[in-house]
């Protein structure tokens, strides 16, 4: 297979996944501003990868700014042994470098930082890179659990909790990323739950036209990209993320992080894996925030969320299609817990895996549930504009907020039971056209549980980008979100 043909197939994988991102931006830009750095020769070069520059050969050298590593040549790719770590603990990086050469790791923390979007926290010493063994595959499950340890980062006790990105850069200028979370279990107003389980479900690594597989796609022996019916049923956390090394939907979480830190909300951090493993005590928080696409939930995750609501902790679902598939987490081949993610979907015998198929529809917790994809962005139509959520936004009944219904949409299903509630309101009712040309509608929901907890669901992918993504910010959505969080946090 020629390199050009392989690259086209690799790109087709990225495009196949990008249909679920209404803005086509994936995880970038996660770092903003006119950022530059000094390379090994002392020259000032731009931080951003020049996507228009032709690819250099794998073995060749190049000049200028850094380039994005890819899954065909694997110039530099890596993953961590765990998705989240506490201050005072260590996190292990497993990294492959081809051709073997020195590399460095810059650690950034996501935040507002005066509009920059992130700040560099530390830099590794120069490290010796090796070509790691070929990923192992079994029944379309791809795993790199056998890669050697490349670098162990001890997290100082004084580091701030938060969402972090490790930037891997080779001596000859190729670059990739590895996301991770620094968490603690101290009380805070809000707990941000990063959806790493859903991120992994979409991970097609390696996007090489041969062996990569996610819960959505896989390639056959002829390099053809197969659909969901032939995809993996189990995927591993022990592998890099495809492409640039950041999950497709990570930008939605970063949009919320930047906005929340800009306005000084007291936010703690955890991952969906932490929620599953019982490392989250919901009584420590006034609200749990699910900032982005969060489609894959285990029974333990749902039990913790229900316990939180029933104990008076509010739930905030800022995206659509949450809690759709039921999944199981199992140990890696080396026995490390929760490193394999399984979702059988429609394949073979066994219990149903849609929550709504086992009489536990997501609406019974969230208040609305997944209705379908939105091929082209549509306006969100304001409903019940006199409600306190829309206070001081300037929104009037029937106002259209352009482009805010995008990607995927939720709505209220009248024949599906609702959760117990003291009060309930739909705050948007927005028509859109599906792929078959039929008119459907999106809804935004809020209810108050008997415990006093609020449960909010935006019902659209475009809510968090409206908080802080360039070109998509909407002051009405910013104010409405602040109204919600201020009430949950009981701010004056």
pTM score over 0.85: yes
Is residue 487 pLDDT above 50, yes or no? yes
| 257 pLDDT more than 60 | yes
Least confident of 101-110, 203-212, 269-278, 301-310: 203-212
Reference 235, options 210, 209, 206; nearest CA is 206
pLDDT score at 46: 41
**If pLDDT is split at 50, 70 and 90, which confidence band does 351 have?**
low
Q: Are 85 and 269 in contact (CB under 8 A)?
A: no
pLDDT (tens digit per residue) in 101-146: 999 999 999 999 988 888 999 999 999 999 999 999 998 999 999 9
What is 250-489's CATH number?
Answer: 3.40.50
Here the tokens at position 97 are: 């470098």
The mean pLDDT of the chain is 87
CA distances from 26 to 204, 268, 284 (A): 14, 24, 32
What was the pLDDT predicted at 56? 40
Determine contact, residues 391/424, Cβ cutoff 8 Å. no
Q: Given this model, what pLDDT does residue 12 score?
A: 40
Q: What is the pLDDT of residues 392-439, one digit of tens each?
A: 999 999 999 999 999 999 999 999 999 999 999 999 999 999 999 999
The band of 15, judged by pLDDT with boundaries at 50, 70 and 90, is very low
Q: What is the pLDDT of residue 170?
A: 95
C-alpha to C-alpha distance for 456 and 445, rounded to whole angstroms? 6
Higher-pLDDT residue of 435 and 60 is 435
The mean pLDDT value for 35-50 works out to 43
How far apart (Å, rounded) are the C-alpha atoms in residues 139 and 56?
A: 34
Tokens of residue 214, six digits: 């996610």
In this structure, the number of other CB atoms found within 10 A of the CB of residue 97 comes to 27
77-86, 130-139, 217-226: least confidently modelled range? 217-226
3-state secondary structure of 199: helix
- Candidates 107, 105, 106, 118; CA nearest to 32 is 118
Residue-level pLDDT at 405: 95
pLDDT at 426: 98
């Amino acid at each position: 297979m020629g390199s050009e043909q392989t690259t086209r197939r690799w790109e087709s994988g990225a495009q196949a996944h990008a249909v679920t991102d209404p803005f086509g931006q994936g995880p970038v830009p996660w770092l903003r501003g006119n950022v530059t750095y000094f390379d090994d020769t002392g020259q000032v070069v731009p931080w951003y990868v020049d996507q228009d520059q032709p690819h250099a050969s794998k073995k060749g050298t190049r000049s200028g700014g850094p380039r994005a590593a890819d899954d065909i040549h694997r110039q530099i790719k890596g993953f961590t042994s765990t998705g989240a770590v506490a201050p005072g603990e260590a996190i292990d990086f497993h990294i492959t470098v081809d051709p073997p050469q020195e590399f460095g790791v810059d650690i950034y923390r996501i935040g507002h930082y005066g509009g920059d979007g992130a700040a560099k926290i530390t830099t590794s010493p120069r490290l010796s890179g090796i070509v790691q063994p070929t990923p192992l595959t079994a029944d379309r499950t791809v795993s790199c659990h056998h890669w050697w340890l490349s670098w162990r980062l001890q997290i100082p006790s004084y580091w701030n909790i938060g969402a972090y990105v490790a930037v891997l850069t080779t001596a000859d200028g190729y670059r990739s990323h590895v996301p991770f979370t620094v968490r603690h279990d101290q009380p805070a107003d809000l707990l941000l739950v990063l959806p790493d389980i859903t991120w992994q479900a979409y991970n097609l690594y390696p996007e090489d036209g041969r062996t990569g597989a996610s819960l959505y796609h896989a390639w056959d022996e002829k390099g053809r990209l197969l659909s969901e019916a032939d995809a993996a049923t189990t995927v591993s956390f022990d592998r890099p993320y495809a492409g640039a090394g950041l999950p497709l939907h990570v930008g939605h979480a970063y949009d919320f992080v930047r906005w929340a830190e800009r306005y000084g909300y007291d936010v703690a951090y955890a991952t969906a894996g932490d929620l599953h493993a019982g490392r989250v005590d919901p009584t420590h928080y006034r609200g749990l925030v699910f900032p982005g696409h969060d489609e894959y939930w285990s029974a333990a995750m749902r039990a913790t969320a229900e316990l939180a609501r029933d104990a008076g902790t509010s739930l905030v679902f800022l995206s659509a299609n949450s809690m759709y598939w039921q999944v199981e987490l199992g140990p890696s081949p080396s026995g490390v817990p929760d490193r394999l993610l399984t979702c059988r979907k429609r394949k073979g015998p066994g219990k149903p895996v849609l929550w709504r198929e086992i009489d536990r529809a997501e609406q019974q917790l969230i208040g609305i549930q997944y209705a379908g994809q939105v091929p082209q962005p549509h306006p969100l139509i304001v409903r019940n504009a006199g409600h306190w959520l829309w206070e001081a936004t300037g929104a009037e009944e029937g106002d259209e907020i352009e482009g805010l219904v995008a990607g995927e949409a939720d709505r209220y299903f009248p024949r599906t039971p609702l959760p117990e509630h003291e009060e309930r309101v739909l705050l948007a009712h927005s028509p859109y056209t599906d792929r078959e040309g039929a008119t459907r509608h999106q809804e935004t929901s809020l209810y108050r549980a008997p415990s006093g907890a609020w449960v909010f669901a935006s019902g659209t992918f475009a809510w968090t980008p409206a908080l802080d993504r360039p070109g998509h910010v909407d002051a009405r959505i910013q104010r409405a979100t602040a109204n919600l969080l201020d009430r949950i946090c009981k701010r004056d």
